[in-house]
């Protein structure tokens, strides 16, 4: 298990940049590739919903043990499915729900760790 401090660094310097890249991709890839990109977005969305509805993976290594974001997986899943629907229609607006997901992740992370300022 990671320490809380290390877990926070992984989130800020690993997870958030990765999610930003995922959100920017629909703005820059060729229009004919958006449909194929939607397949990945659907897979991520379905994965989030699977974890939410089966109440699994609640002991995440990268979180230092407790998956504090588990109750928000339904929202993450729906945002990724929405992005997947837009991408399948070859609409670059697919980025919007993905950016909303990034902002939501940062806000929830800040709320969760608001008492710990030892970054």
Domain boundaries, the chain: 4-112
User: Rounded distance, CA 34 to CA 92, Å?
Assistant: 8
**9-61 pLDDT tens trace:** 989 999 999 999 999 999 999 999 999 999 999 999 999 999 999 999 888 77
Tell me the two tokens of residue 99: 């950016």
Estimate to the nearest angstrom the gap between the alpha carbon of 7 and the chain centroid.
16
Alpha carbon distance 65, 89 (integer Å): 39
Task: Kindly report the number of other CB atoms within 10 A of residue 39's CB atom.
Answer: 12
pLDDT grade for 117, boundaries at 50, 70 and 90: low
Write out the two tokens for 45.
């969305």
């Amino acid at each position: 298990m990671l320490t809380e401090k290390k877990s926070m660094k992984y989130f800020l310097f690993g997870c958030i940049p990765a999610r930003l890249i995922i959100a920017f991709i629909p703005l820059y890839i060729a229009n004919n590739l958006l449909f194929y990109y939607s397949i990945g977005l659907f897979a991520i969305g379905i994965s989030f919903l699977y974890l939410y509805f089966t109440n699994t993976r609640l002991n995440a290594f990268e979180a230092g043990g407790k998956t504090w974001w588990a109750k928000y997986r339904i929202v993450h899943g729906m945002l990724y499915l929405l992005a997947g629907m837009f991408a399948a229609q070859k609409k670059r607006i697919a980025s919007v729900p993905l950016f909303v997901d990034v902002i939501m992740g940062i806000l929830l992370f800040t709320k969760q760790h608001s008492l710990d300022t030892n970054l």
